[in-house]
Amino acid sequence: MKNRVLFKWMAALTLLISGALWAANGVDLTQSPEVSGTPEGSVKMPKQQGRMALNYVNQPPMIPHSVDGYQVSKNTNRCLQCHGVEHYRTTGAPRVSPTHFMDSDGKVLSNVAPRRYFCLQCHVPQTDAAPIVENTFTPSKGFGN
């Protein structure tokens, strides 16, 4: 019981400190895209484009199309309607990687593993938008443009 109370106090303190740091750095937490709609100056996602080169080994491929309105929840995954094992041949979309069917112990499952089910955790829509923060990243040798 003491550990649970201590954990709650530590979590509350962490949230309070991180909020104060964000506020000190001028981050307005009330102005997120979910709250205020599309931010000014945001990049419009293209409907469809060619696939971009990968920048490093095992990089999750970027999504070459808009995902606006895609629903990915515990009950449905819009991505699998095109990329799933049952559909990719008819849609022409790349098939979900076999690695997405393994659980954390390496056991092969009949469906996409829960830890790989929420596609947008790793795969992001590609765009040529300017970086939000300065970035000096260069692709690994043999990768990228």
The model's pLDDT over 81-92, given as tens digits with 9 standing for 90+, comes to: 999 999 999 999
How large is the average pLDDT for residues 70-81?
90
Return binding residues for heme c. 65, 79, 82-83, 100, 119, 122-123
Report the 3 state secondary structure along 6-44. Answer: HHHHHHHHHHHHHHHHHHHCCCCCCCCHHHHCCCCCCCC
Average pLDDT value for the chain: 77
* Nearest-angstrom CA–CA distance, 109 and 115: 12
The CATH architecture that domain 48-128+138-145 belongs to is Orthogonal Bundle (1.10)
- Confidence (pLDDT) at 44: 57
Query: pLDDT, tens digit, for every residue of 2-23?
Result: 666 666 666 666 666 666 555 5
Return binding residues. 65, 79, 82-83, 100, 119, 122-123
Q: Are 64 and 126 in contact (CB under 8 A)?
A: yes
pTM above 0.85, yes or no: no
